[in-house]
Structure 1
Amino acid sequence: MSDLYGSDAYSPVEIARRIESVGETKARMAALPLALLGVLAGAELFTGNNLIVMAWADGRVSAAQVLRNWVIVCLANFVGAAGLALLVFASGHASLNGGAIGQKVVQIAVAKQELPFVTALLRGVLCNVLVCMAVWMAMAGRSVTDKAVAVMLPVMAFVAAGFEHSIANMYLMLLAMLLQQSGLTGYPAVTWGGMLGNWLPVILGNLLGGAVLVAGVYHVIYKRQPSA
C-alpha cells in the first residue's frame, strides 16, 4: 500500500479503520479514567472524539456509548478548562505587559459572547472540520514527528481564522470572568448567560463539523473499500 501512495503513511482506508478501532476503545473506556483524561484534555478531547461516529456507523459501538463518551469528556474538559483558568489567573500571567494580556483576553471573550447564534454555530462547524482533519492526518503518520507535523497546519488554520472551539472558549471566557471580577473594567461584563449563549451553538457546530462533515463523510467514502 505504501508503494501505491508513494510514502510510508497509512492509506485513507487504513486511517478509517484505525480511527474506528480507537473510537471503539474510547467509547468502551471506564468512566473514571475517561473523566481524568478529559480533565487533562490530552488523549480525551470532546472535539476530537466526535470521530467516534465512525465506529458507531460501522456498528462497533452503540449510540448510547458514543453519547456517554461525549457527555463525560465534555464535562471533564470543562472542569479542566476551569482549573487551568484558575491557575493562570492566580499566577498573575494576565497582568504581564502592563495588563495588556488580560485586556486582550477580556476583549476576545466579550466578542465571542456577542456572536449571533448562527455565526457561532457555523464557526464551530468550520473549526471542528479542521480539528478532526488534524486528527485524521495525524493517524496517517507512523512516528511522533509525522503526527506533530500533520496537526500543525489545520490547528494553526482554525486559530488564525478565528473559528470557534468549544473547549478553548470555556477556558478563555472563564478566565475573562475572573479578571473582570478582580477589578478589570472598561468592557461589557462576561456573564454565565453570555458564556452559555456561546458554548451551546459552538458545541453544536463542533458536533456537526466533526461528526457529520468529517466522520460521516469519510465513513461513506471508505467503509466499502477492500482490505489493504
Structure 2
Amino acid sequence: MNDPTGAKIARSAPEALQDKAELPWGRMALLAALAGVFIGFGSIAFLIVQADAAPITGSAQLLSGAAFSVGLVLVMVTGAELFTGNTMFALPAAVHRLTGQRLIGAWAVAWLGNLIGSVALAALFVAAGGLEGLEGEVGEAAARVARDKLEKGPAAALASGVLANILVCLAVWMAMSARSIPAKVLAIIGPVTIFVAAGFEHSVANMSLIPIGMLAGAGGSAAAIASNLLFSTIGNIAGGTLVSLALGFGHGQTSPDDDRDE
C-alpha cells in the first residue's frame, strides 16, 4: 500500500478482516488466549504506574495509558486475536464477505479466549507476588481500580465501552496498514493513551484488571463483575462497529466488488 491512508485503508480492510474472521477455530482460540495474556501485561504496566502516582493526576493518567498501550502493541505485532479489535468484523459482514453466523462465532471465540488468557495471567501475576510490588502499593492500586470499575452503573459502563472501543479500533485500523513495527507502535500509542487516561471501559482489559483487583481485596459481587463485562462488551461492539462501518462506507466500500481506485 503506497498511500496507507483514507480510502485505500478502507478498501483493504474488509478482506483483511474477513481473513482474520475465517481462521480455523482452534487457531483463533489459541491466538485469542494469547491476546488476553498480552493485554494483561498492559494491565500490569498500567497498575505499576498507578501505584507510583498517588495522588492521581492528569499527567499520571496519561503515563498510565502509554504504559498500557504495550499490551495492544504486543497484540498487533504478533497477530493475536483481540475481541475488541475484532468487533470491526462488522464491516466484512456488512459488505457480504462474512456470514452473520461466522461473525457471532468469531466474536464468541475471541471473547472467551481473551477471558481465559486474561484470568490465567492475573492468577500468575498474583502468585508471583506482583501485588507486593512497590511495598504493596501495586496491590492497593489494583484494588482501587477494580472498585472504581465495579461501582459504575450499566449506563456508564455501556457509554464508556463505546468510547473506549472507538479509540481502540482507530488504533487497530491505522496499525493494520502500517508497514513497519515503529509505524504500528506510533499508530497505537495515541488512541490507547487517551482511552486509558479517560478511564473508559475496555472489556478485555477488565478481564485482567478486575480479577487482579479482586485478589487484592477489592471486594465486589459476581453480579457486579458480570454487569461490568456485559455492558462494557456491548459498548465495545457498538464502538467497533461504528468505526468500521463509518470509515468503510464513508470511503465508498459498499460491496465486495467496490475496489475501485479513486
Q: Which residue of 2 aligns with 1:30?
A: 24
**What is residue 207 of structure 2 aligned with on the other side?**
170
* Match of residue 121, structure 1, among 139, 155, 158: 158
- Tell whether the 8 Å contact from 2:162 to 2:238 is kept in structure 1 after alignment: yes
| 1:217 maps onto 2:237 in alignment | no
Per the alignment, residue 238 of structure 2 pairs with 208
Tell me if the contact between 1:18 and 1:139 (Cα under 8 Å) persists in the aligned partners. no
Q: How far does the alpha carbon of each residue in 1:129-162 deviate from its partner, in whole angstroms, 9 at most, with x for none?
A: 0000001111332222211111110011111111
Q: Write the distance in 2 (CA, Å) between the matches of 1:164 and 1:157.
A: 12
The answer to whether structure 1 residue 61 and structure 2 residue 55 are counterparts is no
Counterpart in 2 of 1:81?
118
Whether 1:93 aligns to 2:122 is no
Alpha-carbon distance between aligned partners in 2 of 1:151 and 1:177, rounded to the nearest angstrom: 29
Are the aligned partners of 1:51 and 1:132 in contact in 2 as well (CA < 8 Å)?
yes
Structure 2 residue identity aligned to 1:127: A
CA contact (8 A) 2:142 2:209 kept: yes
1:183 equivalent in structure 2: none
Partner Cα separation in structure 1 for residue 231 and residue 224 of structure 2: 12
1:191 to 221, 225, 231: 221
State the distance in 2 between where 1:179 and 1:18 align: 44
**CA distance in 1: counterparts of 2:184 and 2:110, whole angstroms:** 23
Q: Deviations over 1:144-201 (max 9, x none)?
A: 2211111110011111111110011110111122222xxxxxx5x1222211111111
TM-score, normalising length from structure 1? 0.89
The reply on whether 1:44 has 2:44 as its aligned counterpart is no
Contact 1:48/1:210 (<8 A) preserved? yes
Q: Is the 8 A contact 2:11 2:248 kept in 1?
A: no
RMSD of aligned C-alpha atoms? 1.5
Gaps of 5+ in 1: 3-7, 181-186
CA separation in 2, counterparts of 1:218 and 1:119?
A: 26
- Asked if residue 131 in structure 1 is aligned to residue 168 in structure 2, the reply is yes
1:5 counterpart residue number? none
Matched residue type, 1:156: T
Tell me the distance in 2 between the aligned counterparts of 1:197 and 1:150. Answer: 31
TM-score by length of 2: 0.78
* Contact kept? 1:10, 1:141, Cα under 8 Å: yes
The one of 89, 107, 113 aligned to 1:70: 107
2:12 & 2:193 partners in 1: Cα distance?
24
1:67-124 per-position Cα deviation (integer Å, ceiling 9, x unaligned): 1100000000000000000110011011112211101101110111110110111010
CA contact (8 A) 1:9 1:140 kept: no
Does the 8 Å CA contact 1:176/1:190 hold for their aligned counterparts? no
Residue 149 to residue 9, structure 1, CA distance change in 2 (3 Å): farther
Q: Which runs of 5+ in 2 are unaligned?
A: 36-74
Task: Find the residue that maps to 2:83 and give its secondary structure.
Answer: coil
Shift in Å at residue 226 of structure 1? 6.1
From 4, 8, 30, the counterpart of 1:14 = 8
Per the alignment, in what secondary structure is the counterpart of residue 176 of structure 1?
Answer: helix
Tell me which structure has the larger Cα radius of gyration: 1
